[in-house]
Amino acid sequence: MSTQLPEQVDDESSADEVEPQPEAQERRLQKKRDRAAEQERQRQAEEAEKALDDEDTYHLKVFRYDPEIAGKKEPRFDDFHVPFEKGMTVLDALMYARDTYDSSLTFRHSCRQAICGSDAMFVNGSQRLCCKTQLSDLEEPVRIEPLPHAEVVKDLVVDMEHFYDQMEAVEPYFQTNDLPDGELEEQRQSRENREKVKMSTRCIWCGACMSSCNIAAGDNQYLGPAALNKAYRFTMDEREGEEMKQQRLEILEQEHGVWRCQTQFSCTEVCPKDIPLTEHIQELKREAVKNNLKFW
């Protein structure tokens, strides 16, 4: 089990931290929660049994965990049997399970067209975007877990803060001191240069690469493939100029920067936008070497 769970706190203190409430009300709520949990388990068992009789269903095994609710604190897998329709994606199946069987099933999703990057999960042992993964491409039972190497908030939702922090560490914004004269004059950029950075600009911050990276798993400070790719996007943009490029390479050459990458290609393999992440990191290494050679 590669998923990290936050340290559990006992029942009452967690409730107190969330919102202090009179004891009686809290006891009442707790009872309700326990009862709800029990009812839910029963209903699911019944639904599961019913669905098993149906041949055109897909069997999902979904990771569940809720730090707050008695009976859900112990991580477990729930079974859902979802009626299958042609073209159905893993996200469709999860939404069906949530809307039909258990409204407490929790996961992030929004655009369902592979651009918002919010529904990256660990599906049958691989980091994937649920919205663009066809159920029919997967072996049953389909095992759905939160992204490994990230703290689980609840069910399939992980804490993305660390990922965002790493993205911000590379100064992820365009910087130039050399804007053209004239209010409506754009900076020229050659087609070749735009083509060079194009793939790197497609990152949707889903976190799949970071989750798949062995180095990032062992070194919390490693910038990781997504942030390095973001750095590539600017380092290679001819509009920023040479001086800025050197400044960027200095950031990338730090102890937990590009040199940590061991070219295992796992990030490149899982990237849902087909960004050649490993290649970009290698190119940054080459640039860094060239940059250093100049001063010898």
Partner 1 sequence: MHEHDVIVVGAGGAGLRAAIAAQEEGADVAIVSKLHPVRSHTGAAEGGINAALREGDSWQDHAYDTMKGSDYLGDAPAIETLAQDSPEEVIQLEHWGMAFSREEDGRVSQRPFGGLSFPRTTYAGAETGHQLLHTMYEQLVKRGIEVYDEWYVLDLAVSDEPEPEDRSCHGVVGYDIQSGTIEGFRARDGVILATGGLGQVYDHTTNAVANTGDGVAMAYRAGVPIEDMEFIQFHPTTLPSTGVLITEGVRGEGGILYNEEGERFMFEYGYANNDGELASRDVVSRAELTEVNEGRGIEDEYVHLDMRHLGEERIVDRLENIIHLSEDFEGVDPLEEPMPVKPGQHYAMGGIETDENGETCVSGLYAAGECACASVHGSNRLGGNALPELIVFGARAGHHAAGRDMKEAEIPTGKRGDWEAGDVDTPVEPGDVPGTGAGDAVADGGAAASDLDPDELVQRATERTQVRIESLLDNEDGRNHAEIRSEVQESMTQHVNVFREKEGLKQALRDIREAREKYAEVGVADQSRTFNTDLLHTIETRNIIDLAEAITLGALAREEFRGAHWRKEHQERDDENWLKHTLLSWNGGSPELWFKPVILEGEDKRYEPKIRSY
Beta carbons of 193 and 240 less than 8 angstroms apart: no
Q: How far is the CB of 294 from partner 1 (least distance, A)?
A: 25
Asked whether 59 and 30 are in contact (CB, 8 A), the reply is: no
Q: What is the DSSP letter of 8?
A: P
Cβ distance to partner 1 smaller for residue 127 or 285: 127
Q: How far is the CB of 293 from partner 1 (least distance, A)?
A: 28
Q: What is the DSSP letter of 64?
A: E
H or E segment and range at residue 80: strand 76-83
In terms of CB distance, is 179 or 289 closer to partner 1? 179
Question: How far apart (Å, rounded) are the C-alpha atoms in residues 239 and 274?
Answer: 25
Task: Considering the complex, state which of residue 141 and residue 276 has its C-beta at the smaller distance from partner 1.
Answer: 276
CB of 40 vs partner 1, minimal distance in Å: 7
Whether residue 67 has a cis bond before it, omega within 30° of 0: no
Among residues 163, 172, 268, which one has the least CA distance to residue 216?
A: 163
Q: How far is the CB of 296 from partner 1 (least distance, A)?
A: 32
User: Got the DSSP string for 82-116?
Assistant: EE--TT-BHHHHHHHHHHHT-TT-------SSSSS
Strands 126-129 and 120-123: antiparallel
Q: Are 141 and 59 in contact (CB under 8 A)?
A: yes
Residue placing its CB nearer to partner 1 in the complex, 180 or 218: 180
Contacts of 26-31 with C-beta under 8 Å, sequence gap 24+, read 30/70
**Residue 109 or 141: which CB sits closer to partner 1?**
109
Is the Cβ of residue 190 or residue 292 nearer to partner 1 in the bound state? 190
Q: CB of residue 105 vs partner 1: minimum separation in angstroms? A: 9
The least distance separating partner 1 from the CB of residue 175, rounded to whole angstroms, comes to 8
Cβ nearer to partner 1, comparing 51 with 244: 244
CB of 256 to partner 1, least distance (A): 20
Interface residues toward partner 1, by CB under 8 A:
18-19, 29, 32-33, 36, 40, 66-69, 72, 87, 98-100, 103-104, 106-107, 109-118, 132, 153-155, 157, 160, 164, 168, 171-174, 176, 179, 183-191, 194, 197-198, 201-202, 204-205, 234, 237, 239-240
